Amino acid sequence: MNEIRAAQRRAQRYRFSDGIGELVTGSALALAGSGFLIAQLLDSDILRLVSLGCAFALVPLGLLTARFLKERITYPRTGYVRPPRPRLTYRQRFGLNMLFVLVVMPLVREYFGPALDPDTMTGRVAFFVWVALMVAPLVVMALRLHLYRLLFIVATALGAGGAGLLARVPGDATIGILFAATGMMAVVTGTCALHGYLRTHPRSELDGDHGL
Amino acid sequence: MGSSFAVDPDRVIHEPARLKIMSALSVLDCADFVYLMGETGLTRGNLSVQLRRLEAAGYLIVSKEFRGRIPRTIATMTDSGKKAFKDYRTYLRRLLRNTSEQGMQADDFPKALGTNA
């Protein structure tokens, strides 16, 4: 029974074994965070909007980059795996996200707007709780799949959120610091994982899979 | 002997090499030949035979696709494969529970499973 569970855990852990996901996500987060920070420093609304737009554009771009890298690095070495399909379809997830952005967020702002101002103490605590909720799934995954390096990313996110809270940095700058620091840590852990992966998995000498 | 031993385990899944393949595929949508070879530690020939067995039992669908000029053999677990694997796990769990309740010795396992020691 334990053997079955171990095999299942290895299969679930496989897509994180090369660190490419962290590397790409971390780069995107670091870029978006740097954009927010620069926008805050220059106090430019246009730059803030451009950063936000870039952050959204980085999602599909990151997915394409990760797929491109995996096709060339991971699959020829240790094989191709497709993780289980999510329970919700792409359209359902898109709909839920839009519902959150267009309905839930304006409602929250309408009723709790002054209290959640990022420049007030309550707003900062709410922001920290939000960060903790965002990284909670990552903690569960790290512990369940024994991917302890992800805990460094979690610690960085909480540290950056906490530092912003304590140092009373303006709201946008806190988001910038949080994204940039978390992204950079993800790049570091991803690079280490990729380095270890490449060292332990030399490229297969087979031209093709020589399957059935 | 407990009543759970009256039912035989699924012989197709019960074989260790095929059990490894089924375990890996049970948490994935699909996996290719190279991945399964690394995961199970089987040789190309052996893995090929085991995949054919599982395909013949209707537990897997094995398909071939090309990425550029490189062929890729993809194995996907069917719904009946998922059900069979779930039943097998239930069988094992019940077997282990009954064993601990009855205080069976390790020597009793082959007899209980109907296999030669």
B67: domain CATH number is 1.10.10.10
Question: Chain B contact for A209, CB < 8 A?
Answer: yes
- Could B52 and A4 be called an inter-chain contact, meaning their C-beta atoms sit closer than 8 Å? no
Where are the strands (E) in chain A, listed by range? 81-82
ipTM above 0.90, yes or no: no
Q: For chain B, say whether A80 makes contact (Cβ under 8 Å).
A: yes
Q: State what percent of residues in chain A have pLDDT above 90.
A: 26
Residue B32 lies in a domain: yes
Domain enclosing residue B38, as ranges: 11-113
Percent of chain A with pLDDT over 70: 92
In a domain, B80, yes or no: yes
**Most confidently modeled range among A61-70, A84-93, A123-132, A166-175:** A61-70
Q: What pLDDT score was predicted for residue B8?
A: 78
Domain that holds residue A154: 19-199
Pick among B23, B30, B53 to test the A interface (most A CBs inside 10 A):
B23
The Cα of A161 is separated from the nearest Cα of chain B by a number of Å equal to 34
**Highest-scoring range by mean pLDDT, A160-169, A189-198, B67-76, B99-108:** A189-198
Residue A204 lies in a domain: no
Residues B107, B117 contacting (CB under 8 angstroms): yes
* Residue A6 belongs to a domain: no
Do the domain assignments include residue B55?
yes
In a domain, B4, yes or no: no
- Tell me how far apart the alpha carbons of residues B28 and B20 are, in angstroms, rounded to a whole number: 13
Q: Which span out of A117-121, A208-212, B90-94 was modeled with the highest average pLDDT?
A: B90-94
> Which of A21-25, A34-38, B96-100 is predicted with the least confidence, judged by mean pLDDT?
B96-100
Q: How many domains does chain A have?
A: 1
What amino acid is encoded at B17 in this protein?
A
pTM of the model: 0.75
**Whether residue A184 has pLDDT greater than 90:** yes
For residue A49, tell me if it sits in a domain: yes
Q: Encode pLDDT of B54-63 as tens digits.
A: 999 999 999 9
**Rounded to a whole number, what is the distance in angstroms from the first to the last CA of chain B?**
18
List of chain A residues whose C-beta atoms are within 8 Å of the C-beta of residue B23:
3-4, 7-8, 11
Which residue in chain A is spatially nearest to B34 when comparing CA positions?
A: A79
Q: Are residues B32 and A204 in contact, defined by beta-carbon separation less than 8 angstroms?
A: no
Q: Within a domain: residue A7?
A: no
Contact list, B86 vs chain A (CB under 8 Å): none
For residue range B11-42, what is the model confidence (pLDDT) as tens digits? 888 888 999 999 989 888 899 999 999 888 89
Residue B3 lies in a domain: no
Contact check, Cβ <8 Å, B24/A1 = no
In a domain, B101, yes or no: yes
**In this model, does residue A42 exceed pLDDT 70?**
yes
Q: Is B100 buried (19+), middle (13-18) or exposed (0-12) by CB count in 10 A?
A: exposed
